[in-house]
Chain A
Amino acid sequence: MTTKKGLSFVGVISFVLVFLLFSFSFVSGQPASSAPKTIKIGASISLTGRFAAGGTDVADGYKIAVKHINDDGGLFIKEYNKKIPIELIIYDDESDPSKTVTRLEKLNSVDKVVAYLGEFASDMNIAGLGIAEKNKIPWVGITIAVENAFNQGFKYTFAPNMFSYMEVAAFFNALDSIPKDQRPKKIANFELQVDWGKECTKYLHQYAKERGYTIALEQKYAPDTKDFASLILAAKSAGCDAVFSVPTPPQSMALIKQMKELDYAPKATCFVRGPDLSNYWQVMGKDANYILTSGEWTPEMPYTGNKKLVADYRAQYPNKPIGMPVGNGYSAFQVLADAITKAGKLDREAIRQALTTTDIMTVKGRVTFDKRGIGNVPWVLAQWQNGKLEIVVSPDYKPAPLLLAPPWSKR
């Protein structure tokens, strides 16, 4: 009996000791699980097909960002108390949105990436947004300007770039910077028949009313329109001295050529898309002068790290012009890298949470996000001035003066 009682006591004591030891091991900190060799980040990008030019620029921006981070040992991850290098996995979606879906599924289920990065063209980005949300993987885009895409209540998608309302506001800021007696007053809106064009029209009307301008002409055109003569002649006869549009890159060239042929030279012409690409001056030559366009990122921007990005790019591609998507790609990577470090662990949900509190200075300025994932970025606008994209609207530094376009005969 006594033996039985004694054994029972010993048993209880042993259990308590084992329990305490087990508990202490948790309280004093578990031995850290082994750190992964790399932090996997994935992107599906158009490296071939119709959007390859922009896609390769984006990929270059990402690659340089990865190089800069890995040269420094990688990203510090608190959970492992060490720096871990980044492994960037890029698949070519061949400019086909269905392939974007399969590539992003591969990045999720095979490569197990912790986050997605966006791509150049809207068709693919739109396909990617849905997959990111479905897979609950943070997605950081770079060139998606459609506000409506961020009004769907998605939680995992973030875009640190200018949206339609910012682009239109920057255009009006540019007009406001012109002395009153020379300022254009009658605006022609050439509306591209896509959601982005429609959003811009909405904001053009709103801001024109608020700031005392008149939308004197509104003409619509399809994404594959090549002949703009009727629009141009209508704007000319309506006496419009400013033009706003978001054409496709080939359309932005056709429009300028046809405006020249029809001798229509408004004081300010703003094509948000097209003239911002690196080869625009090479193709258009002096005809590109005075055109206003997206200035989201230029090689001359004075923000920290921009000089290093440009120097490394030029060292790598001495004969290739450096386009806006390179800088946008780089800054998107900076945003994501910052969020991963802040999260302190390689957990998708923790990274998403960290992205919502982003506040970082990138190569194109300060980036934060609103509740929808829309980036609060500097509202800037650039102008082609003798072969150089000069920033003419910036909230952060003194921009170059905006030049009014003279008649074609005087250029």
Chain B
Amino acid sequence: MIQKKKMITASILTLFLFVLPLFISKDYILSILCMLFLYITLSQSWNILGGYTGQVNVGQAAFFGIGALVARLLWIAGMPFYLAIVAGGLGSVLLSVIIGLPALRLKGHYFAIGTLAVAWIAQITVGNMLPGISFLPAQYMATYGLVSRYYVFLIVMVGALATIYFTVHSRIGLGMEATRDDEEAAQTVGVNIFKYKVIAFMLSSFFAGLAGGGFAYFHASFYWHLPFGLMWCFEPILIAFIGGVGSFIGPIVGSVCYVLLKEIFALTLGEMNVLIFGIVFILTILFFPKGIIGLPSKIRELFRKGREPLLATEVAEDKSKSQGGSSL
């Protein structure tokens, strides 16, 4: 019943997002929503490997960048964009297989450092091989519109969320969580942890690649090395931690806060926004290690703790009353 309710809510929300551009006339709002969908996709793609499977990938920029690079090159060469973006996602999957097979043998910090090195190498290599700028050809510029970008980001996000939701709620998801919680114990009971790590890595890189394809479609002009920038490594992690790592809703909530709050802070607080956002982030990590989605349970816990002495007093009073009563 709860599952059915969730599905209906998600469907209504998706439908709402699909008709939203009919009521929005400002390109600014559309561009912000594009960024929001991009960050939801990217952070959720990180979350399936880092949050659900426990493999902290610090090299998401490599997969995001490959998706952007392949999609842009093929699209400009004349391929329809919907095929180019899928090719970009598959390019990222190919990279994840090449990288993943050896890298997933590494554990913990070593895996994190290894993936960061991959991102760094990709950035330098692309910077050296393609030092120029990618401009959209004139005929593409003439038809540039943000509504089509909005739908690309929305479809990619909905696809990523649906796939990840059904994956983590399936047998595969259980395998991933078992791998995250205790690799040795999982292996002991017959879980093929390497298989689940590879599945998570491929899914993660595929959706990161699709998000990169969206980036390539969104920007009218950019330096080729830009989607390989290390900010694309750290931002999805930051968002997942803000929202709540290893939960389905966490990266969505994190992205909403990251994109919208940062936008509001930047426009209203000027240069102070970075400092204030940094403080908010530190406080979140310190006091809400489960992220924003852990906030209600934290409040309930605090409330219960506050109530406990009170309850104890009440119980003691009741006890004394009953003792007093008996004495009477």
A residues neighboring B (CB under 8 Å)? 47-49, 52, 91-92, 94, 96-99, 101-102, 105-106, 108-110, 122-123, 126-127, 129-131, 133-135, 146, 148-149, 152-153, 193-195, 197-198, 222-224
Contacting A at CB under 8 A, from B266-286, are: 266-267, 270-271, 273-274
Q: Is the CB of B274 within 8 A of A94?
A: yes
Known: A101-B219, A109-B26, A194-B127. 15 other contacts (CB 8 A): A48-B271, A91-B266, A92-B266, A92-B270, A94-B274, A96-B231, A102-B32, A102-B263, A106-B28, A123-B226, A130-B136, A131-B220, A195-B133, A222-B124, A224-B124
Query: Does any Cβ of A come within 8 Å of B132's Cβ?
Result: yes
B181 at the interface (CB under 8 A from A): no
- Chain B: residues with CB nearer than 8 A to chain A? 25-32, 35, 124, 127-128, 131-133, 135-136, 138, 141, 144, 146, 215, 218-223, 226, 231, 263, 266-267, 270-271, 273-274
Partner of A105, one of B28, B226, B270, B271: B28
> A193's contact among B131, B218, B274, by CB below 8 Å, is which?
B131
The answer to whether B27 and A153 have CB atoms under 8 Å apart is: no
| Residue pair A97, B226 in contact (C-beta under 8 Å) | yes
Note all chain B residues with C-beta closer than 8 A to A108.
27-28
| Contact partners of B141 in chain A: CB under 8 A | 130, 133-134
Pick from B32, B127, B220, B222: contact of A133, CB below 8 A.
Answer: B220
A257 to B138: give the CA distance in the assembly, Å. 45
B28 and A102 contact, CB distance less than 8 A: yes
Q: Name the A residues within 8 Å of B26 (CB-CB).
A: 109-110
Q: Given the complex of chains A and B, what is the CA–CA distance between A182 and B223 in angstroms?
A: 41
Give min CB distance, A288 to chain B, whole Å.
Answer: 28
| C-alpha gap A208/B270 in the complex (Å) | 48
Task: Specify which chain B residues have a CB less than 8 angstroms from the CB of A48 in the assembled complex.
Answer: 271, 273-274
Cα separation A223 to B226 with both chains bound (whole Å): 13
Between B135, B144, B271, the greatest number of chain A beta carbons within 10 A of the residue's beta carbon is seen for: B135
Q: Identify the interface centre among B30, B124, B127, B266: most chain A CB within 10 Å of its CB.
A: B266
With most chain B CB atoms within 10 A of its CB, the pick from A48, A96, A101, A127 is A101
Name 19 interchain pairs, CB-CB below 8 A, sorted by A: A49-B274, A91-B266, A92-B266, A102-B32, A102-B35, A105-B27, A105-B31, A105-B146, A106-B28, A109-B27, A126-B221, A129-B221, A130-B221, A193-B128, A193-B131, A194-B131, A195-B133, A198-B131, A198-B132
Question: In the docked arrangement, what's the CA distance between A102 and B271, Å?
Answer: 17
Say whether A109 contacts B219, CB under 8 Å. no
Interface of chain A, helix or strand or loop or mixed?
A: helix
- Please give the distance in Å from A325's CB to the nearest CB on chain B: 17
Q: Which residues of B have CB within 8 Å of A126?
A: 133, 221-223
Complex Cα–Cα for A143 and B263 (A): 26
In whole angstroms, what is the CA distance A106 to B268 when docked?
14
Instruction: Give chain B residues whose Cβ lies under 8 Å from the Cβ of A135.
Output: 27
- Nearest neighbor of B32 in chain A, beta-carbon distance: A102
- For residue B271, which residues in chain A have a CB less than 8 angstroms away from its CB? 47-48, 52, 92
Contacts of B25 in A (CB 8 A): 109
B135 contact set on A, CB distance < 8 A: 130, 149, 152
- B127 touches which one: A49, A91, A193, A198 (CB < 8 A)? A193
A47 touches B221 (CB 8 A): no
User: Count of A-B contacts with CB under 8 A?
Assistant: 102
- For the complex formed, measure the closest distance between the CB of A130 and the CB atoms of chain B, giving whole angstroms: 3
CA distance A78 to B328 in the complex (A): 100
**Most interface-central of A98, A134, A152, A195 (chain B CB within 10 A):** A98
- Contact between A130 and B219, CB atoms less than 8 A apart: yes
B28 and A110 contacting across the interface, CB-CB below 8 Å: yes
- Which chain B positions have C-beta within 8 A of A96? 231
Q: How far is the CA of A291 from the CA of B271 in the complex (A)?
A: 34
Instruction: Say whether, besides A91-B266, A96-B231, A222 and B31 are in contact (CB < 8 Å).
Output: no
Task: Specify which chain B residues have a CB less than 8 angstroms from the CB of A127 in the assembled complex.
Answer: 219-222
Q: Establish whether residues A122 and B124, one from each chain, have CB atoms under 8 Å apart when the complex forms.
A: no
Are A91 and B267 in contact, CB atoms less than 8 angstroms apart? Answer: yes
CA distance A127 to B270 in the complex (A): 21
If the complex has contacts A47-B271, A92-B271, A130-B220, are A195 and B131 also in contact, measured as CB distance less than 8 A? yes
Distance in Å from the Cβ of B106 to the closest Cβ of chain A?
25
A152 and B133 CA atoms in complex are apart in Å by 11
A92-B266, A102-B28, A148-B132 known; A134 vs B124 contact (CB < 8 Å)? no
Q: Give min CB distance, A43 to chain B, whole Å.
A: 14
A130 to B35, CA, bound (A): 17
Cα A68 to Cα B32 with chains together (Å) = 35
Chain B residue with the shortest CB-CB distance to A99? B266
Chain A residues, CB < 8 A from B266: 91-92, 94, 99
Which B residue sits closest to A128, measured CB to CB? B221
> Which residues of chain B come closer than 8 Å to A49, judged between CB atoms?
274
B4 to chain A, nearest CB (A): 37
A129 to B27, CA, bound (A): 17
A contact residues around B138 at 8 Å (CB): 152-153
Known contacts A97-B219, A195-B131, A198-B131: A134-B144 contact under CB 8 Å: yes
Chain A residue with the shortest CB-CB distance to B263: A102
Given A48-B271, A96-B231, A123-B223: A101 and B31 interface contact (C-beta under 8 Å): yes
Q: A102-B31, A148-B133, A198-B131 are in contact. Are A92 and B273 (CB under 8 A)?
A: yes
**How far does the alpha carbon of A105 sit from the alpha carbon of B31 in the complex, in Å?**
7
Closest 8 interchain pairs by CB? Answer: A130-B220, A130-B221, A106-B28, A109-B26, A195-B132, A105-B31, A109-B27, A105-B28
| CA–CA, A286 and B27, complex, Å | 51
**Alpha-carbon separation in the docked complex, A146 to B32 (Å):** 29
What separation, in Å, do the CA atoms of A135 and B127 have in the docked complex? 29
**Cα separation A6 to B133 with both chains bound (whole Å):** 76
Contacts of B273 in A (CB 8 A): 48, 92, 94
Which listed residue, A52, A122, A131, A198, touches B223 by the CB 8 Å rule?
A122
A223 with B127: CB separation less than 8 A: yes
Residues of B within 8 A of A52 (CB): 271
Q: CB-CB < 8 A to A148: which residues of B?
A: 132-133
The residues of B that contact A134 with a CB separation of less than 8 Å are: 141, 144, 220
Q: Which one of A97, A109, A149, A195 lies within 8 Å of B28 (CB-CB)?
A: A109
- Name the B residues within 8 Å of A91 (CB-CB): 266-267
Complex interface: chain A residues within 8 A of B270 (CB): 47, 92
- Smallest Cβ-Cβ distance to B39: which chain A residue: A98
Per the bound structure, the CA–CA distance linking A102 and B267 in Å amounts to: 12
In the assembled complex, the Cα of A356 lies from the Cα of B1 at a distance in Å of 66
The verdict on A149 contacting B274 (CB below 8 Å), with A101-B31, A105-B27, A222-B124 known, is no
Please report the C-alpha to C-alpha distance between residue A135 and residue B146 in the assembled complex, in whole angstroms: 11
